[in-house]
């Protein structure tokens, strides 16, 4: 039930955003696409979105503050978030197609690398680990490809919500296996997602900062989980190295 509440906003935003059409200027033509931000709708769909843009930079600060993980996959999540803050700033400030792609590609990559690291921890002795990683890579590749199509622009929240689902499953599975806390961190991210959800469905001068709360809360919750699970990886890696060394001797 908790996981359903966490990903429900993405599905709802996907459906709702199909009714929002934002003309976007480029150097040669007007590209029309949809987005999910209340702030610009309250200003006649004109950029910049000042609050959304500047709070995006908080996403860049998160990995700098909490540190970069040891696991290579999780490290790439940190790099993705670091870049996402700048990409999201650009997107919210100019509301153009380039900014949208820069923002959403780093979100997709962050989840891809996160899932890859979780798979490495959970299925380290599984004979099908390469097949599982291939499934993750295939969805990421398909997601990136479909996300370039204007006709599917409004479905990004839906595709991203689907992609979050295996992350949630692996987070819970690993937490149960290694007795790691995670509910409180997921709750932080869930509140951020819910704020965005409310902001877009009930857009007004009071709810306009819902996306700001998304920028502040969603990355903190998931990155805290990432740091905890990186410690699990470090323990497992050291244990495997000790075992391998003992076998060699």
For residue 22, the 8-state DSSP code is E
pLDDT value for 38: 94
Name beta bridge partners: 31: 24
Angle (CA) 57-58-59 rounded to 5° is 85
Residue 130 CB neighbour total at 10 angstroms: 11
44: left (phi over 0), alpha (psi -120 to 50) or beta: left
Question: In angstroms, rounded to a whole number, what is the distance separating the alpha carbons of residues 172 and 73?
Answer: 18
Question: In angstroms, rounded to a whole number, what is the distance separating the alpha carbons of residues 41 and 44?
Answer: 5
> Domain containing 86 — which CATH number?
1.20.1070
100-135 tens-digit pLDDT: 999 999 999 999 999 999 999 998 777 889 999 999
C-alpha distances (whole Å) from 213 to each of 52, 76, 150, 217 are 9, 24, 27, 6
Q: How many domains does the chain fold into?
A: 1
Name beta bridge partners: 22: 33
For the chain, residues with pLDDT lower than 50 are 1-5, 7-8, 10-28, 244-247
User: Which domain, by its residues, includes 142?
Assistant: 2-248
Residue 69 CB neighbour total at 10 angstroms: 22
Question: In angstroms, rounded to a whole number, what is the distance separating the alpha carbons of residues 192 and 68?
Answer: 22
Give this prediction's pTM: 0.84
User: Tokens 């509910």 — which residue?
Assistant: 183
pLDDT value for 26: 43
pLDDT value for 194: 95
In 3D space, the residue among 178, 203, 166 whose CA is nearest the CA of residue 35 turns out to be: 203
In 3D space, the residue among 234, 122, 133, 119 whose CA is nearest the CA of residue 174 turns out to be: 122
pLDDT value for 233: 92
CA 125 to chain centre: 28
């Amino acid at each position: 039930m908790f996981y359903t509440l966490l990903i429900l906003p993405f599905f709802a935003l996907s459906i709702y955003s199909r009714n929002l059409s934002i003309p976007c200027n480029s150097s040669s033509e007007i590209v029309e696409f949809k987005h999910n931000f209340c702030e610009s709708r309250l200003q006649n769909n004109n950029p910049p979105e000042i609050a959304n843009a500047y709070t995006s930079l908080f996403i860049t600060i998160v990995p700098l503050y909490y540190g970069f993980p040891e696991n290579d996959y999780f490290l790439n999540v940190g790099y993705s978030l670091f870049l996402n803050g700048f990409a999201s700033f650009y997107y919210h400030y100019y509301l153009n197609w380039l900014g949208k792609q820069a923002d959403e590609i780093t979100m997709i990559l962050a989840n891809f690398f996160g899932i890859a690291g979780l798979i490495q921890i959970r299925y380290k002795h599984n004979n099908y680990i390469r097949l599982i990683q291939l499934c993750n890579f295939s969805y990421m590749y398909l997601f990136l490809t479909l996300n370039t199509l204007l006709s599917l622009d409004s479905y990004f929240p839906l595709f991203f919500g689907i992609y979050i689902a295996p992350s949630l499953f692996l987070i819970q599975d690993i937490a149960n296996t290694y007795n790691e806390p995670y509910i409180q961190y997921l709750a932080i991210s869930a509140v951020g997602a819910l704020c965005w959800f409310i902001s877009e469905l009930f857009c007004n001068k009071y709810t306009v900062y819902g996306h700001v709360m998304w920028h502040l809360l969603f990355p903190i919750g998931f990155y805290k989980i990432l740091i905890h699970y990186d410690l699990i990886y470090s323990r497992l890696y050291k244990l495997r190295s000790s075992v391998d060394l003992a076998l060699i001797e």
